Chain A
Amino acid sequence: MAAHFQDYLLHLADNAVILGQRNAQWCGHGPVLEEDLALANNSLDLIGQARLLYQHVATMRKDGKTSEDLLAYFRDVPEFKNYTLLELPHSTALAPTGSGDRDYAVTIGRNFLYSALMVLVWEALKGSSDAQLAAIAAKSLKETQYHLRHARDWMLRLGDGTAESHAKMQAAINHLMPYTQEFFAPSPMETAVVKSGLGVDTRQLQATWNQLVDEALVEATLQRPAAGGYVTTGKTGVHSEHLGFVLAEMQSLARAHPEAVW
């Protein structure tokens, strides 16, 4: 059980750190200054949440060597347990070639779909039988509510905006929606922590999530695509080809200069 619970904490932490890293790629490249700042602040919150969760795992392991830095910077792709959705590039292209392909509609769509899930997950985790996870959830909920509000607001502007912004927002939702199936697919670690009262059963949140998503899509004049096809498996460590590049960018400094301080 302890191993499953640590995996679950890493799953929550990896979600936050990988999306935080992705969103931080807009820092200095935002479509407008306000959005540049918004995404940087969003990343700060996510990385802060990840730190609290990694610290919790490190404390539980009590092996004298696990630290938040070790968990973030010295694990490789198969050890990361984030949803595949969160590691995807900011693009609807299947093989984006660089920053020129970056599409803000994908950024907004992903932040919306994930934040809509996480407000429900954090709310439920306030009742976790693990006091520290419950405390982290209570803090994270307050921040995630702002992330959801931000992403939803922009999804409405883009969806109900010009013909071009509408088409891009719809394409982004079409591209992202199949990956959300992973939110609600069972995994051994989740089954174990739900049983013990430490974690939350996302399937019980699915109806509310659907409602949050559908209401926003209707208001944004967007169609909800059918989310069929392959169900991704990032949370069990089997990732897309994109995560390795994210980790290379995120971990290279720490690996080149282990234990470095400034």
Chain B
Amino acid sequence: MQADANPCAAQPEPSALPDGPIARKEPADPHYTTWSLLESVTDPEIPVVNLREMGILRAVRQTATGLEVVITPTYSGCPAMSQMEDDVVNALSTAGVAARVLTQIAPAWSTDWMTPEGREKLRAYGIAPPHPSGCATGGTSVIQFASRKAGASAAQTVACPQCGSHNTTETSHFGSTACKALYRCLSCLEPFDYFKPY
């Protein structure tokens, strides 16, 4: 592993990383202290969920050159990524833990890696959590369209995070950030964000 080049370049085999949500670590974990410190590092755009709950924090491991924290980017263009990297380093160095951050893109982040408590926090914050993503289930179909004339209701409904109603409608595919769509509840009339499956 080369330490000088850009962090996206050196990719250990993807199977070295977990492919799914990561539960809170037990005290027996060799890097329990580091994991615990990182519980306080949240997504800058959604400050109620931490990086582990978002599925962004993938691993803490000891390497020949020191402690390494592996994170994975969400959307390719997400402007919050470098902020998260800095936040990880700061949270650890404040506590006297020296570590470097490796940003690794494979396997590709999926909203299926969000933890159940992370999803619940999103809902409580007013963001409808994502449905399971088609990609992560190993589907081979590139894309499918429901005919508009056959009724857009063929798509899965999104429950309003305020009142729980499924009587909601999409206002826009893209909302306040790349990862969210804008919805409106037809029961309580509140607009809300829906975290899109990725």
* Of listed B73, B105, B107, B143, residue having the most chain A CB within 10 A: B143
> Is the beta-carbon distance between A45 and B182 smaller than 8 angstroms?
no
Minimum C-beta distance from B169 to chain A (A): 13
Q: Tell me, yes or no, whether A102 is within 8 Å of chain B by CB.
A: no
Cα–Cα, bound, A168→B178 (Å): 28
Q: Which of B78, B106, B142, B145 contacts A135 (CB 8 A)?
A: B106
Is the CB of A166 closer than 8 A to any CB of chain B? no
Among candidates A138, A141, A148, A150, residue contacting B174 with C-beta atoms closer than 8 Å: A150
Question: Could you tell me which residues of chain A, from 39 to 83, have a CB within 8 Å of some CB in chain B?
Answer: 41-49, 51-52, 55-56, 58-59, 62
Please give, as numbers and ranges, the residues of chain A lying within 8 Å of B176 by CB-CB distance. Answer: 37
> What string of 1s and 0s marks CB contacts (under 8 Å) between B13-43 and chain A?
0100000000000000000000000000000
- By CB atoms of chain A within 10 A, which of B5, B174, B178, B198 has the most? B174
Pairwise interchain contact B143-A143, C-beta atoms closer than 8 A: no
Contacts of B6 in A (CB 8 A): 55, 58-59
User: B8 an interface residue at 8 Å Cβ cutoff?
Assistant: yes
B173 within 8 A of A: yes
- Say yes or no: A135 contacts B108, CB within 8 Å: yes
Cβ B75 vs Cβ A48 within 8 A: yes
Report whether A156 and B148 are in contact in the complex, using a CB–CB cutoff of 8 Å: yes
Interface centre among A38, A131, A215 (most CB of B within 10 A): A38
A123 at the interface (CB under 8 A from B): yes
Q: Which residues of B contact A219 (CB under 8 A)?
A: 147-149
Q: Which residues of A contact B173 (CB under 8 A)?
A: 38, 146, 149-150, 153
CA distance A88 to B160 in the complex (A): 41
Find out whether the CB atom of B135 lies under 8 angstroms from the CB atom of A45. no
CA distance A37 to B14 in the complex (A): 34
A38 touches B172 (CB 8 A): yes
The answer to whether A56 touches B75 (Cβ under 8 A) is no
A62 nearest in chain B by CB position = B5
Q: Is A136 an interface residue (CB 8 A)?
A: yes
Do B75 and A44 have beta carbons less than 8 Å apart?
yes
Assess the B108–A138 pair: CB atoms within 8 A.
yes
**B interface: dominant SS:** loop
Question: Which A residues from 86 to 123 make CB contacts under 8 A with B?
Answer: 119-120, 123
CB contact between B105 and one of A41, A43, A136, A145 (< 8 Å): that residue: A136
Contact A131 B76 (CB under 8 A): no
Q: Is A152 an interface residue (CB 8 A)?
A: yes
A108 → B minimal CB distance (Å): 12
Chain B, residue nearest A208 (CB): B142
Residues of B within 8 A of A141 (CB): 135, 142
How many residues of chain A have a CB within 8 Å of chain B?
45
- Option from B105, B148, B172 in Cβ contact (under 8 Å) with A139: B105
Interchain CB contact under 8 A, A48 and B76: yes
B157, CB-defined interface residue at 8 Å: no
- Is B93 in the interface zone, CB < 8 Å from A? no
B135 touches A142 (CB 8 A): yes
A35: chain B residues within 8 A (beta carbon): 172
Residue from the list A34, A44, A119, A134 in contact with B106, Cβ < 8 A: A134
Determine whether the beta carbon of A135 is less than 8 Å from that of B148: no
Judged by a CB distance under 8 angstroms, whether A240 is at the interface is no
Please determine whether A142 and B142 come into contact, CB atoms closer than 8 angstroms. no
Closest residue of chain B to A157, judged by CB? B148
Q: How far is the CB of A65 from chain B (nearest CB, A)?
A: 13
B8 and A55: CB pair below 8 A?
yes
The answer to the question of A84 belonging to the interface, with a C-beta cut-off of 8 Å to chain B, is no
Contacts A41-B177, A42-B174, A156-B148; is A123 near B142 (CB within 8 Å)? yes
State the CA gap A49–B105 with chains docked (Å): 11
A132 in the interface, Cβ–Cβ < 8 Å? yes
Q: List 11 A-B contacts (CB under 8 A).
A: A43-B77, A44-B75, A46-B77, A135-B105, A135-B108, A139-B105, A143-B76, A145-B142, A150-B173, A153-B173, A219-B147
Residues of B within 8 A of A (CB): 5-6, 8-9, 11, 14, 73, 75-79, 105-109, 133, 135, 142-143, 145, 147-149, 171-178, 182, 196, 198
Knowing that A34-B171, A42-B174 touch, tell me 9 more A-B residue pairs with CB under 8 angstroms. A37-B175, A41-B174, A52-B8, A138-B107, A141-B142, A143-B178, A145-B142, A146-B174, A216-B145
